[in-house]
Structure 1
Amino acid sequence: MKYNLLISLIFLFSLIASAQSSFNSETLLVTKQDLSTNVFAADSTANAVVLYESGNSYVSNRDFMLYTEIKKKIKILNNDGFDKATVKEYLYRNSNKKENIQDIHAITYNLEGDNITKVKLDKKAIYEEKYDDKYTLVKFTFPNVRAGSVITYSYTLVSPFFFKYKGWYFQEDIPKLYSEYNTSIPGNWEYNIKLVGHLALDHKEEHIQNECLDGGSGAYADCVDTKYVMKNIPAFIEEDYMTTKSNYLSRIDYELKTLRMFNGEVENYTKTWKVVDNELRTDNDLGRQLSKSAITKGLLDNSIEKESNPLIKAKKIYQYVQEHYAWNKEYSLFKDVSVKDLIKEKTGSVSEINILLHNLLKQSDLEVYPILLSTRNNGFPTKIYPVISDFNYLIVQINIDGEKYLLDATEDYLSFGEIPFRCLNQEGRLLDFKNGSYWIALTPEKTSSVMYQIKLKAENGTLKGMVHHSNKGYHAHSYKNSYYSNPENYLIKLRNSHEAFEISNYKVDSESKTSFDFTESYAIEYPLDEQLTNIYFDPFLFKFFDTNPFKLQNRTYPIDFGYKDSFLYSIQIDLGKDYQAINLPKSKHYTLPNNKGRLLFNTSQSKNTISLVLKIDFLENLYAPEYYPYLKEFMSITTNIQTKSLVSLKKR
Structure 2
Amino acid sequence: MKQYILTFFFLFITLISLSQSNNSKNKFRVTLNDLKMQSYEKDSTANALVIYEYGNSYVDRNDYDLRTQEKHKIKILSKEAFDEANIVLYLYNDGNNFERVKNIIATTYNLVENKVITTKLEEKDIFKEKYNDNYTLVKFTLPNIKVGSVITYSYTLRSPFMFKYKGWKFQSEIPKIYSEYRASIPGNWEYNIKLVGGKKLSVNESEIEKNCLEVGNGGSAHCGNYKYVMENIPAFVEEDYMTSESNYLAKIDYELKTFNSFDGTKKDYTKTWKTVDKDLKTDAKIGRQLNKSIKPEDYLSQGIINEKNKLTKAKLIYNYVQDNYTWNGEYKLFSEGSVKGLLKNKSGNASSINILLHNLLKASDIDVNPLLISTRENGFPTKIYPVLSDFNYLIAQVTVDEKTYLLDATDSYLNFGAVPFRCLNEYGRLLDFKKGSKWIDIKPNKISSVNYQVNLNLENDNLITGKISSKRTGYHALNIKKRYYPNPDKYISNLEDKFPYGEISDYETIHKDSESENFIESYNIEYIPDDTNSNIYLNPFFVTFFKENPFKLQERTYPIDFGYKDSYFYMLKLNFDESYAIKEKPTDLKLALPNNMGNIVFASTFNETSFSLSFRINFKSHIYTPDYYPYLKEFMSKIVDIQTNSLILIKRQE
Q: TM-score under structure 1 normalisation?
A: 0.95
Counterparts of 1:297 and 1:275 in 2: how far apart (Å)? 35
Partner of 1:579: 580
Partner of 1:634: 635
Partner of 2:93: 93
Counterparts of 1:582 and 1:450 in 2: how far apart (Å)? 30
| Counterpart secondary structure, 2:454 | strand
Partner of 2:105: 105
Deviates more, 1:125-134 or 1:244-253: 125-134
Deviation, structure 1 residue 295: 6.3
Deviation, structure 1 residue 26: 5.6
8 Å contact 2:48–2:174 — kept in the other structure?
A: yes
Superposed, 1:87-486 pairs within 5 Å as: 87-294=87-294, 297-459=297-459, 460-486=461-487
Counterparts of 1:581 and 1:25 in 2: how far apart (Å)? 75
Deviation, structure 1 residue 415: 0.5
Partner of 1:499: 500
Higher relative contact order (CA 8 A, sep 6+): 2
Deviates more, 1:267-276 or 1:334-343: 334-343
8 Å contact 1:101–1:157 — kept in the other structure?
A: yes
Deviates more, 1:301-310 or 1:137-146: 137-146
Partner of 1:17: none
Residue type matched to 1:456 in 2? L
Superposed, 1:583-602 pairs within 5 Å as: 583-602=584-603
Partner of 1:522: 523
8 Å contact 1:286–1:337 — kept in the other structure?
A: no
Partner of 1:625: 626
Note closer, same or farther for the CA distance 1:536–1:403 as it changes in structure 2 (3 Å cut): same
Asked whether 1:490 is paired with 2:491, we answer yes
8 Å contact 2:574–2:610 — kept in the other structure?
A: yes
8 Å contact 1:296–1:359 — kept in the other structure?
A: no
Residue type matched to 1:544 in 2? F
Counterparts of 2:97 and 2:331 in 1: how far apart (Å)? 26
8 Å contact 1:337–1:351 — kept in the other structure?
A: no
Counterparts of 2:484 and 2:332 in 1: how far apart (Å)? 30
Partner of 2:646: 645
Asked whether 1:563 is paired with 2:568, we answer no
Residue type matched to 2:278 in 1? N
Partner of 2:34: 34
Partner of 1:550: 551
Note closer, same or farther for the CA distance 1:546–1:223 as it changes in structure 2 (3 Å cut): same
8 Å contact 1:65–1:158 — kept in the other structure?
A: yes
Partner of 1:84: 84
Counterparts of 2:232 and 2:190 in 1: how far apart (Å)? 31
Deviation, structure 1 residue 635: 0.8
Counterparts of 1:337 and 1:329 in 2: how far apart (Å)? 17
Q: Deviation string for 1:100-135 (max 9, x for gaps)?
A: 211111100000112111101122222222223322
Deviates more, 1:588-597 or 1:332-341: 332-341
Partner of 1:8: none
Residue type matched to 2:119 in 1? V
Q: Percent identity?
A: 53
Counterparts of 2:377 and 2:168 in 1: how far apart (Å)? 20
Deviation, structure 1 residue 296: 5.6
Counterparts of 1:590 and 1:73 in 2: how far apart (Å)? 47
Deviates more, 1:511-520 or 1:278-287: 511-520
Alpha-carbon RMSD across the aligned residues, in angstroms, is: 1.3
Residue type matched to 1:632 in 2? K
| Counterpart secondary structure, 1:530 | strand
8 Å contact 1:602–1:614 — kept in the other structure?
A: yes
Note closer, same or farther for the CA distance 1:26–1:469 as it changes in structure 2 (3 Å cut): farther
Deviates more, 1:61-70 or 1:522-531: 522-531
Deviation, structure 1 residue 215: 2.5
Residue type matched to 1:569 in 2? Y
Note closer, same or farther for the CA distance 1:179–1:608 as it changes in structure 2 (3 Å cut): same
| Counterpart secondary structure, 2:524 | strand
Counterparts of 1:484 and 1:166 in 2: how far apart (Å)? 49
Counterparts of 2:188 and 2:529 in 1: how far apart (Å)? 80
Q: TM-score under structure 2 normalisation?
A: 0.95
Partner of 2:19: none
| Counterpart secondary structure, 1:535 | strand
Counterparts of 2:119 and 2:243 in 1: how far apart (Å)? 40
Counterparts of 1:413 and 1:349 in 2: how far apart (Å)? 17
Counterparts of 2:373 and 2:25 in 1: how far apart (Å)? 41
Residue type matched to 2:613 in 1? L
Q: Deviation string for 1:73-123 (max 9, x for gaps)?
A: 000011111111111111112222221211111100000112111101122
Counterparts of 1:125 and 1:90 in 2: how far apart (Å)? 17
| Counterpart secondary structure, 2:490 | helix
Deviation, structure 1 residue 578: 3.6
| Counterpart secondary structure, 1:489 | helix
Matched pairs, number: 629
| Counterpart secondary structure, 1:454 | strand
Q: Deviation string for 1:563-616 (max 9, x for gaps)?
A: 001000111110224422110001100011111101100111133211111100
Partner of 1:49: 49
Q: Deviation string for 1:364-388 (max 9, x for gaps)?
A: 0000000000000000000011110
Counterparts of 2:490 and 2:431 in 1: how far apart (Å)? 43
| Counterpart secondary structure, 2:353 | helix
Q: Deviation string for 1:171-210 (max 9, x for gaps)?
A: 1111111100000000010000100012100011111111
8 Å contact 2:48–2:175 — kept in the other structure?
A: yes
Counterparts of 1:181 and 1:570 in 2: how far apart (Å)? 58
Note closer, same or farther for the CA distance 1:25–1:470 as it changes in structure 2 (3 Å cut): farther
Deviation, structure 1 residue 531: 4.2
Counterparts of 2:515 and 2:99 in 1: how far apart (Å)? 48
8 Å contact 2:366–2:398 — kept in the other structure?
A: yes
8 Å contact 1:56–1:68 — kept in the other structure?
A: yes
Counterparts of 2:269 and 2:487 in 1: how far apart (Å)? 51
Deviation, structure 1 residue 559: 0.6
| Counterpart secondary structure, 1:242 | coil
8 Å contact 1:50–1:175 — kept in the other structure?
A: yes
Counterparts of 1:117 and 1:391 in 2: how far apart (Å)? 50
Partner of 1:16: none
Structure 1 unaligned residues grouped into runs of 5+: 1-23
Q: Deviation string for 1:517-575 (max 9, x for gaps)?
A: 22111111111233433211111111011111111111111110000010001111102
8 Å contact 1:183–1:225 — kept in the other structure?
A: yes
Structure 2 unaligned residues grouped into runs of 5+: 1-23
Moved over 6 A (4+): none
Deviates more, 1:376-385 or 1:498-507: 498-507
Deviates more, 1:320-329 or 1:54-63: 54-63
Counterparts of 2:532 and 2:56 in 1: how far apart (Å)? 74
Note closer, same or farther for the CA distance 1:105–1:137 as it changes in structure 2 (3 Å cut): same
Deviation, structure 1 residue 283: 0.7
Deviation, structure 1 residue 337: 4.1
Deviation, structure 1 residue 400: 0.5
